[in-house]
A and B are shown apart, each in its own frame.
Chain A
Amino acid sequence: GQSLEQPSEVTAVEGAIVQINCTYQTSGFYGLSWYQQHDGGAPTFLSYNALDGLEETGRFSSFLSRSDSYGYLLLQELQMKDSASYFCAVLNSGYSTLTFGKGTMLLVSP
């Protein structure tokens, strides 16, 4: 089976940089995804790493290291609107299904 671990909560101030870590144990996967969910809303796709290394999309970057079973989401120039829950998820081998971590709530303060 697949299991993913993330911190339950992270706090930061506006303008700062924050990193949300994700460690995983899997029986095989194609890549690591990140989703954002604002309170009461639907999850939305942020980033996907199929290969080891860094993927950059604007203020957000995501990193994957398969040898360390580890990934992270890096958010730069934090804004109040970045306060949300962030989920890592593995794309399971052989199927187009995702297994999600339990999520990290990011609280951005002024």
Chain B
Amino acid sequence: DAGITQSPRHKVTETGTPVTLRCHQTENHRYMYWYRQDPGHGLRLIHYSYGVKDTDKGEVSDGYSVSRSKTEDFLLTLESATSSQTSVYFCAISEAERGSYTDTQYFGPGTRLTVL
């Protein structure tokens, strides 16, 4: 199994509070991703990173920011959490190069976030 951990695994917070989720990898993979998963929507990409300090938006990036100061860590921040951000958040990693014709993503165990 790829070495990916997420913390916390569960979190309950209140509307308007900031929340930071952490993804940590031990594989030294270049690409890291944050997804959210909601019933009826599958997995949707929030943000991704293709290197230290290199990040880009996914399809559902509004209300989220990310940072990657080290290869092994990718942080997802909800600046002011809303109930619509209640979801399961998955981190993933990939060793593919930009524009690669092949790709396998390895997913972390997920973080269940509830915003009341």
A interface residues (Cβ-Cβ under 8 A, vs B)? 1, 30-31, 33, 41-45, 48, 50, 87, 89, 91, 93-103
Contact = CB atoms under 8 A, between A and B. Distances in A.
Contacts of B106: 45
Most chain A beta carbons < 10 A, residue from B59, B100, B104: B104
B97 A96 contact: yes
Interface stretch (B40-48, B64-72, B79-87): B40-48
A97 B58 contact: yes
7 contacts: A31-B101, A50-B102, A89-B43, A96-B97, A96-B100, A102-B40, A102-B41
Contact of B44 (A48, A50, A91, A100): A100
B74 interface: no
Interface in B94-108: 94, 96-108
Contact of B105 (A30, A93, A98): A98
Report, as a range, how many residues of chain B touch the other chain.
20 to 34
A87 B43 contact: yes
A8 to B, nearest CB: 8
Q: Dominant SS at the B interface? A: loop
Contact of B99 (A48, A89, A96): A96
A22 to B, nearest CB: 12
Given A50-B102, A97-B33, 13 more contacts: A1-B59, A48-B103, A48-B104, A87-B43, A94-B98, A95-B98, A96-B31, A96-B97, A96-B98, A96-B99, A98-B103, A100-B43, A101-B42
Contacts of B96: 96
A90 to B, nearest CB: 11
B94 A96 contact: yes
